[in-house]
Structure 1
Amino acid sequence: MTSAVTTGRTGGTTRTLLWALPPVALLALVFLYPLALVVRQSLQPDTGGTSLEPYADVFASEAFREALWTTVWLAAGSTVGCLVLGFVIALVIAFVPFPGARAVARFIDVFLSFPSFLITLALLFIYGTVGMANGLWTDVTGAQDGPFRFLTTPWGVLLAEITYFTPFVVRPLLAAFSQLDTAQLEAASSLGARPLRIIRRVILPEALPALAAGGSLVLVLCLNEFGIVLFTGAKGVTTLPMLVYSKAILESDYPGACVVAVVNVLISVGLYGLYRVVSRRARA
């Protein structure tokens, strides 16, 4: 009897492995193999052989250190902006009754599917050098040029990233607020607590897991954002993805581009691991 059970389990395990083998092989071929090629190329300098020389050259360059710092502060600033703005928007949608609140919540779901360059293009139409805001200013004042020129600066990139990624914070917050016991809010209000105190003592503690999960996701996405930086045309704003593009396409420095790509992947994977941990705790 025991032998039959063991044989059945072994057969079931074998069938499971056979079913899992094709998707795992496809995953390895499509994703892991190209990544392995990037890592291998990062260890092969133009002089030939295999060494850490490309890493030493890239880490010693001022361009890499500036790109790393720009990437980190833009991602961190965008994440903070998204958390603050997303929390306020989610509060209004969830707790301030107004006509069309459900439509706004649905639009946020649709907004998540928009490509990042589309949002940047919309901002260019509004705040670009020849955009609507500058056009209105010149029409009213008669000036030759408008005052809105921040879109091609780091602040323009920051605005575009906050605009695009805020819904990634709003969505988990709305889900968290939908699980909040309204009796707690009514009890706090009946005891004389003011709205700000209710937000700080009742709503915010319940929202912290969702804020952490949404913030972690936004941080990962901002670290890897390429389209927004490219489409704003911000001069002097070089992030790690932009540096990969510059080294590979403009300089033909493929080992250097692969080194920067490997660093970017390692940072992203580390933060994604953090995001998974926070998301798991948020669902618990």
Structure 2
Amino acid sequence: MASATLGARAGVRVKSRTEIPRWVWALPPVAVLGLVFLYPLALVVQQSVTPDTGGTSLQPYADVFASSAFREALGTTVWLAVGATVGCLVLGFALALVIAFVPFPGGKAVAKFIDVFLSFPSFLITLALLFVYGSVGMANGLWTDVTGAATGPFQFLATPWGVLLAEITYFTPFVMRPLLAAFSQIETAQLEVASSLGARPARIVRQVILPEALPALAAGGSLVLVMCLNEFGIVLFTGAKGVTTLPMLVYGKAILESDYPGACVVAVVNVLISVGLYGVYKVVSRRARA
């Protein structure tokens, strides 16, 4: 019996000696991550401090920060992202409120369609808007057919307001999804009690539903803000003249001007802003789940 016990202990001892450390299992994914993501990012950072004249210098940063094109692109990016986020929060809250608390035929199908909509590429929504409101779209075509005018009145899609409309259209479901999940946790008994006490729908929304929805609104709004800052396809496909965001500026400097240090500087700035906002999004999401 004693020998069997000693043998078992020896087996355990041998097994512990041959066990592979946990950090070894982490090496393959870390190596892949470094090769696929960190190494290209390091090359971008390196190129941003390597002027065309050679050597290492912060002159590309000074040149980019001093240019009016960068300041205008930064301002355009911020106001489009903030405007789209506000629009998505307002529209998303209203639509989610109707879907969750106003019974209508097909409500569940609409809620499921939102999940599918999240997988659509952004340029697809932009193309749909072009077919409807473009210069030769359905709305302008119908107007010219009825009135005989040479052109239609809907020419806003190639302006900053068209970009804003496209971003709100595309990103609103990203706000609705967490809102619908939050609304599903609200007990209907609370709403019934508030209604039986004489509270009107507006007061119920303000005092009962909205407090429960604030964490989801904050999380969804933070995510939309990060995504809008990095949106490229919508701005490109709308063909909006004079609308240059930071991603568009990177494209212009790298492809059109062959100014790779300048393009990398703008890319680094864009990444830093996005990472900072993503950190805010993670904090807000963690508090929303708490």
> What is the match of residue 6 of structure 2?
none
Aligned structure 1 segments of 4 or more residues deviating by more than 4 angstroms:
4-12
Looking at structure 2, the residues matched to 273 and 137 of structure 1 have their Cα atoms a distance apart, in angstroms, of: 48
**3-state DSSP of counterpart to 2:53:** coil
Point out where structure 2 has 5 or more consecutive residues left out of the alignment. Answer: 1-10
RMSD across aligned C-alpha pairs, in angstroms?
A: 1.9
Alignment partner of 2:172 out of 157, 163, 166: 166
Q: Distance in 1 between matches of 2:139 and 2:265?
A: 41
Aligned to 2:58: 52
Please point out which of 186, 190, 196 is paired with 2:202. 196
Q: Distance in 1 between matches of 2:13 and 2:280?
A: 39
Counterparts of 2:16 and 2:87, CA distance in 1 = 53
User: Offset at 1:142?
Assistant: 1.1
What is the SS of the residue equivalent to 2:266?
A: helix
Displacement of 1:158 in angstroms is 0.1
TM-score normalised per structure 2: 0.94
Provide the rounded CA distance (Å) in 1 between the counterparts of 2:17 and 2:75: 53
1:86 Cα deviation after fit? 0.3
Matches within 5 A, 1:11-22: 15-22=21-28
Give the drift of 1:100: 0.3
Q: 1:251 to 1:183 in 2, by over 3 A?
A: same
Partners of 2:196 and 2:49 in 1: how far apart?
A: 66
Q: Is residue 213 from structure 1 mapped to residue 245 from structure 2 by the alignment?
A: no
Matched, 1:29 2:35: yes
1:95-244 aligned at under 5 Å gives the runs: 95-244=101-250
Aligned-partner Cα distance in 2 for 1:16–1:137 = 68
TM-score (norm 1): 0.96
CA distance in 2, matches of 1:122, 1:279: 32
Q: CA separation in 2, counterparts of 1:95 and 1:46?
A: 60
Please give the secondary structure, in 2, of the residue aligned with 1:249.
helix
Aligned to 1:77: 83
Shift of 1:183: 1.2
User: 2:281 is aligned with what amino acid?
Assistant: Y
Where structure 1 has 5 or more consecutive residues not aligned to the other structure, the ranges are: none
Matched, 1:253 2:259: yes
Instruction: Give the secondary-structure state (helix, strand or coil) at the position aligned to 1:113.
Output: coil
Cα deviations by residue, 1:209-245 (Å, 9 ceiling, x for unpaired): 0000000000000000000000000000000000000
SS of alignment partner, residue 242 of structure 2: coil
For 1:81 and 1:254, the matched residues in 2 are separated by: 35
Q: 1:209 to 1:8 in 2, by over 3 A?
A: farther
Larger Rg: 2
- Quickly say closer, same or farther: Cα 1:264–1:11, change in 2 above 3 A: farther
Query: Percent of pairs identical after alignment?
Result: 84
